[in-house]
Amino acid sequence: MITWIQSGVVVDPVRCVQEELDLIIERGKIKQILPWGEFGEKSPQVRIINASGRLVVPGLIDMHVHLREPGHEYKETIASGAKAGAKGGFTALACMPNTEPSNDCRSVTEFILEQARRAGFARIYPVAAITKGQKGEMLTEFGDLRKAGAVAVSDDGFSVVNSEVMRRALEYARYHGLMVISHSEDRNLSNGGVMHEGVVSTRIGLKGIPAASEEIIVFREISLSTLTGCPVHIAHVSTAGSVELIRRAKEKGIPVTAETAPHYFSLDHSKVVGYDTNAKMNPPLRTPEDVEAIKKGLSEGVIDAIATDHAPHSPLEKELEFDKAAFGIIGLETALPLTLKLVQSGVLDLPEAIGKLSLNPAKILGVQGGRLETGASADLALIDPEYEYELREEDILSRSRNSPWIGETLKGRNELTMVEGKIVWEKDA
Protein backbone atom coordinates (compact mmCIF):
# COMPACT_ATOMS: atom_id res chain seq x y z
CA MET A 1 0.00 0.00 0.00
CA ILE A 2 1.02 3.55 -0.73
CA THR A 3 0.58 6.39 1.74
CA TRP A 4 0.21 9.89 0.35
CA ILE A 5 0.88 12.72 2.82
CA GLN A 6 -0.87 15.48 1.00
CA SER A 7 -0.59 19.27 1.06
CA GLY A 8 1.68 19.61 4.05
CA VAL A 9 4.61 21.93 4.60
CA VAL A 10 7.68 19.74 4.79
CA VAL A 11 10.40 20.93 7.15
CA ASP A 12 13.86 19.82 6.10
CA PRO A 13 16.62 20.41 8.67
CA VAL A 14 19.26 19.12 6.23
CA ARG A 15 18.80 21.91 3.72
CA CYS A 16 17.26 24.22 6.31
CA VAL A 17 14.10 24.88 4.33
CA GLN A 18 10.35 24.42 4.59
CA GLU A 19 8.52 23.65 1.36
CA GLU A 20 5.05 22.82 0.10
CA LEU A 21 5.55 19.16 -0.72
CA ASP A 22 3.73 15.86 -0.81
CA LEU A 23 5.35 12.69 0.49
CA ILE A 24 4.72 9.30 -1.02
CA ILE A 25 5.49 6.41 1.28
CA GLU A 26 5.75 2.80 0.32
CA ARG A 27 7.05 -0.22 2.24
CA GLY A 28 8.10 1.93 5.16
CA LYS A 29 10.27 4.23 3.10
CA ILE A 30 9.87 7.62 1.51
CA LYS A 31 9.47 6.79 -2.16
CA GLN A 32 8.88 10.19 -3.68
CA ILE A 33 8.89 13.81 -2.66
CA LEU A 34 7.12 16.14 -5.03
CA PRO A 35 5.40 19.52 -5.16
CA TRP A 36 1.72 19.83 -4.31
CA GLY A 37 -0.57 18.67 -7.09
CA GLU A 38 1.95 16.61 -9.01
CA PHE A 39 1.03 13.21 -7.65
CA GLY A 40 -2.02 12.01 -9.52
CA GLU A 41 -2.39 8.36 -8.67
CA LYS A 42 -5.80 7.68 -7.18
CA SER A 43 -6.68 4.13 -6.38
CA PRO A 44 -8.06 2.25 -3.40
CA GLN A 45 -4.45 1.24 -2.86
CA VAL A 46 -3.53 4.80 -1.85
CA ARG A 47 -4.14 5.92 1.69
CA ILE A 48 -4.35 9.70 1.82
CA ILE A 49 -3.33 11.65 4.91
CA ASN A 50 -4.45 15.24 4.62
CA ALA A 51 -1.66 17.42 5.99
CA SER A 52 -3.12 20.74 4.94
CA GLY A 53 -2.14 23.43 7.44
CA ARG A 54 0.26 21.00 9.08
CA LEU A 55 4.01 20.74 9.27
CA VAL A 56 5.55 17.46 8.18
CA VAL A 57 8.78 16.97 10.13
CA PRO A 58 11.30 14.18 10.51
CA GLY A 59 10.42 12.00 13.50
CA LEU A 60 11.82 13.69 16.59
CA ILE A 61 14.74 12.05 18.35
CA ASP A 62 15.19 12.51 22.08
CA MET A 63 18.75 11.67 22.96
CA HIS A 64 18.24 11.82 26.72
CA VAL A 65 15.36 10.07 28.49
CA HIS A 66 14.88 7.86 31.53
CA LEU A 67 12.51 4.99 30.85
CA ARG A 68 12.94 3.41 34.31
CA GLU A 69 12.75 -0.17 33.06
CA PRO A 70 14.08 -2.48 34.36
CA GLY A 71 13.54 -1.77 38.04
CA HIS A 72 11.23 1.19 38.46
CA GLU A 73 8.26 0.21 36.34
CA TYR A 74 5.87 2.04 38.67
CA LYS A 75 7.36 5.29 37.34
CA GLU A 76 7.57 4.38 33.67
CA THR A 77 8.05 1.42 31.40
CA ILE A 78 9.69 1.26 28.03
CA ALA A 79 6.19 0.86 26.56
CA SER A 80 4.61 3.78 28.43
CA GLY A 81 7.61 6.00 27.79
CA ALA A 82 7.72 5.13 24.11
CA LYS A 83 3.99 5.82 23.83
CA ALA A 84 4.36 9.18 25.57
CA GLY A 85 7.19 9.89 23.16
CA ALA A 86 5.09 8.94 20.14
CA LYS A 87 2.40 11.32 21.34
CA GLY A 88 5.00 14.07 21.62
CA GLY A 89 6.22 13.47 18.05
CA PHE A 90 9.25 11.37 18.94
CA THR A 91 10.08 8.35 16.85
CA ALA A 92 13.31 7.53 18.68
CA LEU A 93 14.48 7.75 22.27
CA ALA A 94 17.92 7.20 23.75
CA CYS A 95 17.45 5.86 27.27
CA MET A 96 19.91 6.41 30.08
CA PRO A 97 21.41 3.51 32.02
CA ASN A 98 20.39 4.42 35.58
CA THR A 99 17.88 1.62 35.87
CA GLU A 100 17.95 -1.20 38.40
CA PRO A 101 20.07 -3.07 37.59
CA SER A 102 21.85 -0.38 35.67
CA ASN A 103 22.48 -0.95 31.99
CA ASP A 104 26.12 -1.91 32.35
CA CYS A 105 26.14 -5.25 30.57
CA ARG A 106 24.93 -6.92 27.42
CA SER A 107 21.96 -8.71 29.00
CA VAL A 108 20.36 -5.49 30.23
CA THR A 109 20.86 -3.80 26.85
CA GLU A 110 19.29 -6.79 25.14
CA PHE A 111 16.39 -6.80 27.59
CA ILE A 112 15.72 -3.11 26.88
CA LEU A 113 15.73 -3.71 23.14
CA GLU A 114 13.45 -6.71 23.48
CA GLN A 115 10.94 -4.70 25.55
CA ALA A 116 11.16 -1.91 22.98
CA ARG A 117 10.43 -4.32 20.14
CA ARG A 118 7.38 -5.63 21.98
CA ALA A 119 6.14 -2.13 22.73
CA GLY A 120 6.44 -0.64 19.26
CA PHE A 121 5.74 3.11 19.21
CA ALA A 122 9.34 4.31 18.91
CA ARG A 123 12.88 3.24 18.22
CA ILE A 124 14.79 2.80 21.44
CA TYR A 125 18.53 3.40 21.57
CA PRO A 126 20.06 2.18 24.82
CA VAL A 127 22.79 4.29 26.38
CA ALA A 128 24.95 2.00 28.47
CA ALA A 129 26.88 2.89 31.61
CA ILE A 130 30.49 4.05 31.34
CA THR A 131 31.44 2.22 34.51
CA LYS A 132 30.11 -0.89 36.21
CA GLY A 133 27.14 0.00 38.38
CA GLN A 134 27.80 3.65 37.44
CA LYS A 135 30.27 3.66 40.30
CA GLY A 136 32.97 5.50 38.40
CA GLU A 137 35.58 2.76 38.82
CA MET A 138 35.74 0.00 36.19
CA LEU A 139 34.84 0.50 32.55
CA THR A 140 31.96 -1.57 31.24
CA GLU A 141 32.43 -3.86 28.24
CA PHE A 142 32.02 -1.25 25.52
CA GLY A 143 32.56 -3.69 22.67
CA ASP A 144 30.00 -6.15 23.91
CA LEU A 145 27.52 -3.37 24.65
CA ARG A 146 27.98 -1.89 21.21
CA LYS A 147 27.35 -5.27 19.64
CA ALA A 148 24.21 -5.69 21.71
CA GLY A 149 22.85 -2.38 20.41
CA ALA A 150 24.04 0.40 22.72
CA VAL A 151 24.70 3.66 20.85
CA ALA A 152 26.49 5.63 23.54
CA VAL A 153 27.79 5.42 27.09
CA SER A 154 27.07 7.67 30.03
CA ASP A 155 27.04 7.50 33.81
CA ASP A 156 24.16 9.98 33.69
CA GLY A 157 23.15 11.15 37.12
CA PHE A 158 26.77 11.10 38.14
CA SER A 159 29.98 12.47 36.75
CA VAL A 160 32.85 10.07 36.39
CA VAL A 161 34.81 11.53 39.29
CA ASN A 162 38.17 10.01 38.39
CA SER A 163 39.61 11.92 35.43
CA GLU A 164 41.84 9.01 34.46
CA VAL A 165 38.79 6.75 34.12
CA MET A 166 37.02 9.39 32.02
CA ARG A 167 40.06 9.78 29.79
CA ARG A 168 40.25 6.05 29.13
CA ALA A 169 36.50 5.92 28.54
CA LEU A 170 36.81 8.53 25.79
CA GLU A 171 39.68 6.67 24.14
CA TYR A 172 38.09 3.26 24.37
CA ALA A 173 34.61 4.43 23.36
CA ARG A 174 35.85 6.02 20.15
CA TYR A 175 37.44 2.74 19.10
CA HIS A 176 34.07 1.03 19.48
CA GLY A 177 32.11 3.84 17.86
CA LEU A 178 30.25 4.87 21.01
CA MET A 179 29.60 8.48 21.94
CA VAL A 180 30.45 9.40 25.54
CA ILE A 181 27.79 11.57 27.17
CA SER A 182 28.86 13.53 30.22
CA HIS A 183 26.60 14.44 33.10
CA SER A 184 28.79 17.30 34.26
CA GLU A 185 28.65 17.88 37.98
CA ASP A 186 31.28 18.23 40.67
CA ARG A 187 29.44 16.49 43.47
CA ASN A 188 31.76 17.78 46.16
CA LEU A 189 30.71 21.27 45.21
CA SER A 190 27.01 20.57 44.68
CA ASN A 191 26.71 18.13 47.56
CA GLY A 192 23.44 18.56 49.40
CA GLY A 193 22.25 21.34 47.10
CA VAL A 194 18.69 21.18 45.85
CA MET A 195 18.41 24.28 43.64
CA HIS A 196 20.60 26.84 41.92
CA GLU A 197 22.81 28.74 44.37
CA GLY A 198 21.91 32.40 44.07
CA VAL A 199 19.58 35.10 45.29
CA VAL A 200 16.53 32.84 45.25
CA SER A 201 18.14 30.01 47.24
CA THR A 202 19.26 32.59 49.78
CA ARG A 203 15.80 34.11 49.94
CA ILE A 204 13.85 30.87 50.41
CA GLY A 205 16.40 29.01 52.48
CA LEU A 206 17.36 26.08 50.30
CA LYS A 207 20.85 24.73 49.84
CA GLY A 208 22.32 25.82 46.55
CA ILE A 209 24.13 24.11 43.68
CA PRO A 210 26.57 26.65 42.25
CA ALA A 211 26.91 27.04 38.48
CA ALA A 212 30.60 26.23 38.93
CA SER A 213 29.80 22.63 39.88
CA GLU A 214 28.65 22.09 36.28
CA GLU A 215 31.27 24.27 34.61
CA ILE A 216 34.25 22.64 36.33
CA ILE A 217 33.38 19.28 34.81
CA VAL A 218 32.43 20.75 31.42
CA PHE A 219 35.90 22.26 31.36
CA ARG A 220 37.46 18.94 32.38
CA GLU A 221 35.64 17.07 29.61
CA ILE A 222 36.80 19.63 27.08
CA SER A 223 40.38 19.27 28.37
CA LEU A 224 40.18 15.49 28.08
CA SER A 225 38.73 15.77 24.60
CA THR A 226 41.63 18.06 23.68
CA LEU A 227 44.12 15.64 25.19
CA THR A 228 42.75 12.55 23.47
CA GLY A 229 41.18 14.00 20.35
CA CYS A 230 38.08 11.97 21.17
CA PRO A 231 34.56 13.36 20.93
CA VAL A 232 32.51 14.06 24.02
CA HIS A 233 28.90 15.16 24.39
CA ILE A 234 27.80 17.40 27.25
CA ALA A 235 24.34 16.56 28.57
CA HIS A 236 21.76 19.07 29.83
CA VAL A 237 23.76 22.29 29.67
CA SER A 238 22.22 24.78 32.09
CA THR A 239 24.64 27.66 32.68
CA ALA A 240 25.96 30.63 30.74
CA GLY A 241 29.49 29.60 31.76
CA SER A 242 29.09 26.15 30.21
CA VAL A 243 27.80 27.69 26.98
CA GLU A 244 30.87 29.93 26.89
CA LEU A 245 33.28 27.02 27.51
CA ILE A 246 31.66 24.95 24.76
CA ARG A 247 31.64 27.91 22.37
CA ARG A 248 35.38 28.40 22.80
CA ALA A 249 36.08 24.68 22.47
CA LYS A 250 34.12 24.53 19.23
CA GLU A 251 35.97 27.54 17.88
CA LYS A 252 39.20 25.66 18.48
CA GLY A 253 37.83 22.62 16.67
CA ILE A 254 37.64 20.38 19.72
CA PRO A 255 35.07 17.62 19.01
CA VAL A 256 32.55 18.57 21.68
CA THR A 257 28.78 18.61 21.22
CA ALA A 258 26.08 19.66 23.63
CA GLU A 259 22.41 19.42 24.43
CA THR A 260 20.08 21.38 26.66
CA ALA A 261 16.58 20.61 27.90
CA PRO A 262 13.42 22.67 27.31
CA HIS A 263 13.19 23.66 30.98
CA TYR A 264 16.58 25.35 30.83
CA PHE A 265 15.41 27.75 28.12
CA SER A 266 11.87 28.11 29.48
CA LEU A 267 12.11 28.50 33.26
CA ASP A 268 14.43 30.11 35.79
CA HIS A 269 15.11 29.57 39.48
CA SER A 270 12.28 31.87 40.58
CA LYS A 271 9.98 28.94 39.72
CA VAL A 272 11.21 27.24 42.92
CA VAL A 273 9.64 29.93 45.15
CA GLY A 274 6.68 28.12 46.72
CA TYR A 275 8.70 24.90 46.95
CA ASP A 276 7.05 23.19 43.96
CA THR A 277 8.97 19.92 43.64
CA ASN A 278 8.21 19.94 39.90
CA ALA A 279 10.68 22.80 39.70
CA LYS A 280 13.40 20.55 41.13
CA MET A 281 15.80 19.01 38.66
CA ASN A 282 19.51 18.36 38.31
CA PRO A 283 21.12 20.49 37.02
CA PRO A 284 18.77 23.00 38.62
CA LEU A 285 16.84 25.84 36.99
CA ARG A 286 19.30 28.72 36.81
CA THR A 287 19.07 32.52 36.60
CA PRO A 288 17.27 34.52 33.88
CA GLU A 289 20.73 35.43 32.51
CA ASP A 290 21.56 31.74 32.14
CA VAL A 291 18.25 31.18 30.34
CA GLU A 292 19.16 33.93 27.87
CA ALA A 293 22.63 32.43 27.38
CA ILE A 294 21.12 29.01 26.67
CA LYS A 295 18.84 30.55 24.04
CA LYS A 296 21.78 32.37 22.49
CA GLY A 297 23.79 29.15 22.55
CA LEU A 298 20.98 27.38 20.73
CA SER A 299 20.61 30.15 18.19
CA GLU A 300 24.35 30.33 17.48
CA GLY A 301 24.73 26.59 17.18
CA VAL A 302 26.88 26.20 20.30
CA ILE A 303 24.19 23.89 21.66
CA ASP A 304 23.50 21.25 19.03
CA ALA A 305 20.51 19.43 20.40
CA ILE A 306 17.41 19.73 22.55
CA ALA A 307 16.78 16.66 24.70
CA THR A 308 14.13 16.35 27.37
CA ASP A 309 15.94 14.56 30.22
CA HIS A 310 12.48 13.00 30.67
CA ALA A 311 12.66 11.84 34.29
CA PRO A 312 9.42 10.26 35.49
CA HIS A 313 8.82 10.13 39.23
CA SER A 314 5.73 9.09 41.15
CA PRO A 315 4.13 11.04 44.01
CA LEU A 316 6.19 8.81 46.32
CA GLU A 317 9.29 10.71 45.22
CA LYS A 318 7.70 14.08 44.52
CA GLU A 319 5.01 14.80 47.13
CA LEU A 320 7.59 15.42 49.78
CA GLU A 321 9.48 18.22 51.44
CA PHE A 322 11.44 20.01 48.71
CA ASP A 323 14.87 18.90 49.87
CA LYS A 324 13.73 15.28 50.13
CA ALA A 325 12.00 15.10 46.74
CA ALA A 326 13.66 13.47 43.74
CA PHE A 327 15.25 15.53 40.98
CA GLY A 328 13.66 15.60 37.53
CA ILE A 329 10.55 16.21 35.45
CA ILE A 330 8.88 14.48 32.54
CA GLY A 331 9.35 16.13 29.17
CA LEU A 332 8.34 13.99 26.20
CA GLU A 333 4.86 15.49 25.87
CA THR A 334 5.91 19.13 26.23
CA ALA A 335 9.22 19.37 24.36
CA LEU A 336 7.66 20.19 21.01
CA PRO A 337 5.47 23.15 22.03
CA LEU A 338 8.25 24.54 24.24
CA THR A 339 10.72 24.35 21.36
CA LEU A 340 8.21 25.89 18.94
CA LYS A 341 8.03 28.81 21.34
CA LEU A 342 11.65 29.51 20.46
CA VAL A 343 10.54 29.74 16.83
CA GLN A 344 7.68 32.10 17.70
CA SER A 345 10.06 34.34 19.64
CA GLY A 346 12.62 34.33 16.83
CA VAL A 347 15.42 32.48 18.65
CA LEU A 348 15.47 29.69 16.07
CA ASP A 349 13.94 29.31 12.64
CA LEU A 350 11.70 26.32 12.17
CA PRO A 351 14.14 24.00 10.35
CA GLU A 352 16.82 24.78 12.96
CA ALA A 353 14.45 23.99 15.80
CA ILE A 354 13.37 20.72 14.22
CA GLY A 355 17.02 19.92 13.47
CA LYS A 356 17.91 20.23 17.15
CA LEU A 357 15.16 17.74 17.90
CA SER A 358 16.00 15.27 15.14
CA LEU A 359 18.91 15.58 12.71
CA ASN A 360 21.49 16.80 15.21
CA PRO A 361 20.89 14.16 17.87
CA ALA A 362 20.91 11.52 15.12
CA LYS A 363 24.31 12.72 13.96
CA ILE A 364 25.72 12.87 17.49
CA LEU A 365 24.55 9.34 18.27
CA GLY A 366 25.39 8.02 14.81
CA VAL A 367 21.90 6.72 14.19
CA GLN A 368 19.51 7.12 11.28
CA GLY A 369 16.80 9.73 11.15
CA GLY A 370 16.37 13.47 10.97
CA ARG A 371 16.04 13.40 7.20
CA LEU A 372 13.01 13.48 4.96
CA GLU A 373 14.54 12.35 1.67
CA THR A 374 13.87 9.73 -0.94
CA GLY A 375 14.89 6.32 0.32
CA ALA A 376 14.88 7.31 3.99
CA SER A 377 12.78 5.40 6.48
CA ALA A 378 9.36 7.05 6.86
CA ASP A 379 9.82 8.22 10.45
CA LEU A 380 7.90 11.46 10.74
CA ALA A 381 5.46 13.60 12.66
CA LEU A 382 2.59 15.82 11.60
CA ILE A 383 2.37 19.00 13.60
CA ASP A 384 -0.29 21.65 13.99
CA PRO A 385 1.86 24.60 15.08
CA GLU A 386 -1.11 26.86 15.82
CA TYR A 387 -3.15 24.58 18.08
CA GLU A 388 -3.44 25.94 21.62
CA TYR A 389 -4.43 23.82 24.56
CA GLU A 390 -4.15 23.49 28.29
CA LEU A 391 -1.94 20.64 29.49
CA ARG A 392 -4.16 18.53 31.69
CA GLU A 393 -2.88 15.87 34.05
CA GLU A 394 -5.34 13.29 32.72
CA ASP A 395 -4.05 13.73 29.17
CA ILE A 396 -0.50 12.74 30.03
CA LEU A 397 0.44 9.32 28.69
CA SER A 398 3.60 8.90 30.73
CA ARG A 399 3.04 6.85 33.87
CA SER A 400 4.25 9.83 35.89
CA ARG A 401 2.79 13.32 36.06
CA ASN A 402 5.69 15.35 37.37
CA SER A 403 5.49 18.29 35.02
CA PRO A 404 5.64 21.98 35.91
CA TRP A 405 3.48 22.74 32.87
CA ILE A 406 0.30 21.07 34.06
CA GLY A 407 -2.43 23.70 33.87
CA GLU A 408 -0.38 25.87 31.50
CA THR A 409 -1.41 26.77 27.97
CA LEU A 410 0.83 25.35 25.27
CA LYS A 411 0.89 26.13 21.58
CA GLY A 412 1.72 23.54 18.95
CA ARG A 413 0.76 19.91 18.98
CA ASN A 414 1.80 16.71 17.29
CA GLU A 415 -1.15 15.06 15.55
CA LEU A 416 0.33 11.95 14.01
CA THR A 417 3.51 9.96 14.42
CA MET A 418 4.81 7.45 11.94
CA VAL A 419 7.66 4.98 12.35
CA GLU A 420 8.78 3.12 9.25
CA GLY A 421 5.57 4.10 7.49
CA LYS A 422 3.37 2.76 10.30
CA ILE A 423 1.15 5.14 12.24
CA VAL A 424 2.13 4.63 15.89
CA TRP A 425 0.15 7.51 17.32
CA GLU A 426 -2.69 9.65 16.10
CA LYS A 427 -4.73 12.31 17.89
CA ASP A 428 -8.35 11.52 18.66
CA ALA A 429 -10.56 12.62 15.77
Partner 1 sequence: MSKFGHKDLFGMGQLSVRDIQLILDTAESLKEISERDIKKVPTLRGKSVVNFFYEPSTRTRTSFEMAAKRLSADTVSLSVSTSSMVKGETLIDTARNIQAMNPDLIVLRHSSSGAPQLLAREVKACVINAGDGINEHPTQALLDLFTIREKKGKIEGLKVVITGDISHSRVARSDIIGLTKMGAEVTVSGPPTMIPPGIEDFGVQVVHDPAEAVKEKDVVMMLRIQLERQGKALFPGLREYAVFFGLNREVLKQAKKDAIVMHPGPINRGVEITDDVADGPQSVILDQVTNGVAVRMAVMYLLMGGTKE
Binding site for partner 1 (CB under 8 A): 197-199, 201-208, 274-275, 319-324
Q: Which residue out of 309, 323, 349, 379 is catalytically annotated? A: 309
Q: How far is the CB of 329 from partner 1 (least distance, A)?
A: 18
Per-residue HEC secondary structure of the chain comes to CEEEEEEEEEEECCCCEEEEEEEEEECCEEEEEEECCCCCCCCCCEEEEECCCCEEEECEEEEEECCCCCCCCCCCCHHHHHHHHHHHCEEEEEECCCCCCCCCCHHHHHHHHHHHHHHCCCEEEEEECCEHHHCCCCECCHHHHHHHCCCEEECCCCCCCCHHHHHHHHHHHHHCCCEEEECCCCHHHHCCCCEECCHHHHHHCCCEECHHHHHHHHHHHHHHHHHHCCCEEECCCCCHHHHHHHHHHHHCCCCEEEEECHHHHHCCHHHHCCCCHHHCCCCCCCCHHHHHHHHHHHHCCCCCEECCCECCCCHHHHCCCHHHCCCCCCCCCCHHHHHHHHHHCCCCCHHHHHHHCCHHHHHHHCCCCCCCCCCCECCEEEEEEEEEEECCHHHCCCCCCCCCCCCCEEEEEEEEEEECCEEEEECCC
Task: Report the residue number, 44 or 192, with the smaller CB distance to partner 1.
Answer: 192
Active-site residue, 309 included: yes
Task: Report the residue number, 88 or 208, with the smaller CB distance to partner 1.
Answer: 208
> Going by C-beta distance under 8 Å and a sequence separation of 6 or more, which residues neighbour residue 307?
62, 63, 64, 65, 235, 236, 259, 260, 261, 361
Task: Report the residue number, 165 or 204, with the smaller CB distance to partner 1.
Answer: 204
Measure the CA angle with vertex 169, ends 286 and 227; round to 5°: 80
Q: How far is the CB of 206 from partner 1 (least distance, A)?
A: 5
Task: Report the residue number, 137 or 319, with the smaller CB distance to partner 1.
Answer: 319
Q: How far is the CB of 203 from partner 1 (least distance, A)?
A: 7
Q: How far is the CB of 221 from partner 1 (least distance, A)?
A: 25
Q: How far is the CB of 208 from partner 1 (least distance, A)?
A: 7
Is 377:25 a contact under the CB 8 Å cutoff?
Answer: no
Task: Report the residue number, 276 or 386, with the smaller CB distance to partner 1.
Answer: 276
Q: How far is the CB of 322 from partner 1 (least distance, A)?
A: 5
Task: Report the residue number, 290 or 304, with the smaller CB distance to partner 1.
Answer: 290
Is 56:49 a contact under the CB 8 Å cutoff?
Answer: no
Task: Report the residue number, 165 or 189, with the smaller CB distance to partner 1.
Answer: 189
Q: How far is the CB of 285 from partner 1 (least distance, A)?
A: 16
Give me the amino acid identity at 91: T
Q: How far is the CB of 390 from partner 1 (least distance, A)?
A: 22
Task: Report the residue number, 85 or 198, with the smaller CB distance to partner 1.
Answer: 198
Residues belonging to the active site: 309
